[in-house]
Structure 1
Amino acid sequence: MAHTSTQGRPGALRRAALRALGPVLAAAPAVGGQAVMEGVMIRNRERLAIAVRKPDGSIHLETRPWFSLTSAPLLQRPFLRGFPVLLETLVNGIKSLNWSAQVSLDEGEDEIKPWALALTVGVSIALALGLFVVLPHLFSLGVAYLGLGGGTESLSFHAWDGFFKLGVFLAYISAISLLPDIRRVFQYHGAEHKVIWAYESGCELTPERARGYSRLHPRCGTAFLLFVLSLSIVLHAVLIPGLLMLYAPQGEVLKQAYVIGAKFLMLVPVAAVSFELIKFTARRSEGTVCRALCWPGLMLQRLTTFEPDDEQLEVAIAALRGAVDK
């Protein structure tokens, strides 16, 4: 049976929401993946495959090399690879989402132009920085102005900042999950996780067998972003007061701009540490400490995954077979 969007052609708002969700929908290597429009992308080392359900009900499969920013040996080392991996995942995810949108609507298979891709990545990063760095900082300043929290050097300032970040993140995911097109993507997200679990368990890759596996996975990008948000809260609370003790610009506006700029730069080490944490917990997922670290991310995936049907599992299996060539 052919599947079409319940809302017709996805508008620019829905496509933008999906592109912003790239890291949320993506799972980290070894075998990882990402939900796309009416399909799934699976990555296996330097190869990726995208399977999409077309309007006529057929499955269209595309295989291509993984665009990498970590080919240099230095950038493959622990604590140096995290931020480049995040960027390359964003690039590959946006390209896959764009391609799937074209195929699922039977509009051809035009690739996003390099300049448009660069602009989309740049805008996505700028929006993320504005939403999760600048806006929470301004919110905390407002709280301090009302006398409900301390200044930039205080722990309460960064506690309010973190509370606002997590609130915005949860509200954003909850709100877009109400859109029918996004809900279907979240079903494919669940299908991706189930099929990866089946593959990693050595199970026969059929919808019937994959259906019994969990839709939650510890390597999911949702868990990665939760690590990033949590670590940023802790590091900001510890490092920003110390940084201001070393140097604080004269004038309140310059001081706040200085702090926001420092938070931008801290995203690189935060992403690096978060990446190593998620790899560590995925490798040792049976340990008590690692299970405790994974638990919040798994619970958050209850918002970003829904139970798929067998036809969605079939698409995810096609993508995985294309990636691993089985």
Structure 2
Amino acid sequence: MKREGPAIGGQAVLEGVMMRSPKYTAIAVRKDGEIVIKKEENFSISDQYPFLKAPILRGAVALIEMLVVGVRALSYSAGVVSDDDEEELNSRDIFLAVVMALAFALLLFIVFPTILTKFIAGSIKNPFLLNLIEGLVRILVFLLYLISISSMKDIKRFFEYHGAEHKAVHCYESGEELTIENAKKYTTLHPRCGTSFLLVVMVVSILLFSMLGWPGIVARITFRVLLFPMVAGISYEFIKLAGKSNSVLVRLLSAPGLWLQKLTTREPDDSQLEVALEALKCVLSGGDGFVR
């Protein structure tokens, strides 16, 4: 039975899982056999400026906020795992980390593909074909990036926790009791996953950028960077729809993103599932962070 309740999202962190409900965020990390959990109340700029909750706009805002939350969660988990007692990242550090992450993504997935397309396309002049080639190059770069990191030992464990996060959310959304035995039977693939979101971003960018023709390289890169928030917003709306709809069309359109998650998720063990479930229980309850 489908559970009626708040939408839950999350991500893997170092040796753990971060879960996020509309009201709370919880980070659960495995350390020396125990689960250390930190919980805090969410803040969104959309609550202060309600117009940011409008369709498409809310997607661009959600992307930035999830980057900030993700950086903080990774920083916290790294501190727990390494026994680092230093203070958490301050606002300046988080801002710099988010800017660097965005800059890396823009260079790798926008600047590099559009420059490479210039050499691949040869004498092709059709703007749509050029944008299509650029989009396919972008997807290929993304696939090669995922394949290259997936063989790293630490990344494999990260992907196992990613799978645990998805199984826990599936268990919750199916209305079952949040136990390891119930959660382990579910798939590691989820339609609202960030991996699927990134693939949708790349497909939407092909369609949107094609409307601008094929200007000079400086104008091309500038337009792509400026339009990225709109691309992210449109992609967010599709992922939101995919998470709610059972229509055949939406399932077909979502399938490539689910296939791609086979690269970014792995089957977790029981201890990893336990961590994900504890993070999930924490955001669904009124309690504070704890060690168990």
TM-score (norm 1): 0.83
- Does the CA-based 8 Å contact 2:15-2:81 persist in structure 1? yes
- Does the CA-based 8 Å contact 1:67-1:92 persist in structure 2? no
AA aligned to 2:226 is L
- What are the Cα deviations for residues 283-314 of structure 1, in whole angstroms up to 9, with x where unaligned? 11x21001011101110000000000000000
Q: Which stretches of structure 1, 4 residues or longer, exceed 3 Å deviation after superposition?
A: none
AA aligned to 2:233 is A
Aligned to 2:83: 106
Aligned length: 280
Q: Distance in 1 between matches of 2:128 and 2:54?
A: 33
Out of 162, 186, 193, the position equivalent to 1:220 is: 193
Q: Distance in 1 between matches of 2:41 and 2:124?
A: 50
**SS class of match (1:110):** coil
Aligned to 1:258: 219
Aligned to 2:257: 297
Q: Distance in 2 between matches of 1:291 and 1:159?
A: 23
Please state if 1:318 is matched with 2:284: no
Aligned to 1:6: none
Aligned to 1:150: 124
Aligned to 1:81: 58
RMSD of aligned residue pairs (Cα, Å): 1.5
Q: Distance in 2 between matches of 1:240 and 1:269?
A: 17
- Does the CA-based 8 Å contact 2:10-2:165 persist in structure 1? yes
Aligned to 1:271: 232
Please state if 1:69 is matched with 2:45: yes
Q: Distance in 1 between matches of 2:97 and 2:187?
A: 33
AA aligned to 2:262 is R
AA aligned to 1:51 is A
Deviation at 1:210, TM superposition (A): 0.6
TM-score (norm 2): 0.92
Higher relative contact order (CA closer than 8 Å, sequence separation 6+):
2
Deviation at 1:159, TM superposition (A): 2.1
Q: Distance in 2 between matches of 1:101 and 1:308?
A: 20
- Does the CA-based 8 Å contact 1:39-1:100 persist in structure 2? yes
Please state if 1:306 is matched with 2:280: no
Aligned to 2:166: 193
Please state if 1:160 is matched with 2:133: yes
Q: Distance in 1 between matches of 2:283 and 2:22?
A: 9
Aligned to 1:41: 18
AA aligned to 1:99 is Y
Deviation at 1:67, TM superposition (A): 3.9
Q: Distance in 1 between matches of 2:281 and 2:171?
A: 12
Identity of aligned residues (%): 44
**SS class of match (1:265):** helix
- Does the CA-based 8 Å contact 2:127-2:213 persist in structure 1? no
- What are the Cα deviations for residues 196-216 of structure 1, in whole angstroms up to 9, with x where unaligned? 111111111111111001111
Out of 84, 92, 96, the position equivalent to 1:119 is: 96
- Does the CA-based 8 Å contact 1:281-1:290 persist in structure 2? yes
Deviation at 1:183, TM superposition (A): 0.6
1:4-43 residue pairs with structure 2 within 5 A? 30-43=7-20
Aligned to 1:14: none
- Does the CA-based 8 Å contact 2:17-2:161 persist in structure 1? yes
Q: Distance in 1 between matches of 2:152 and 2:87?
A: 26
AA aligned to 2:264 is T
Q: Distance in 1 between matches of 2:131 and 2:258?
A: 25
Please state if 1:206 is matched with 2:179: yes
Deviation at 1:127, TM superposition (A): 0.9
AA aligned to 2:155 is I
**SS class of match (1:78):** coil
Q: Note closer, same or farther for the CA distance 1:66–1:210 as it changes in structure 2 (3 Å cut).
A: same
Q: Distance in 2 between matches of 1:195 and 1:116?
A: 31
Structure 2 runs not aligned, ≥5 long: 1-5, 287-292
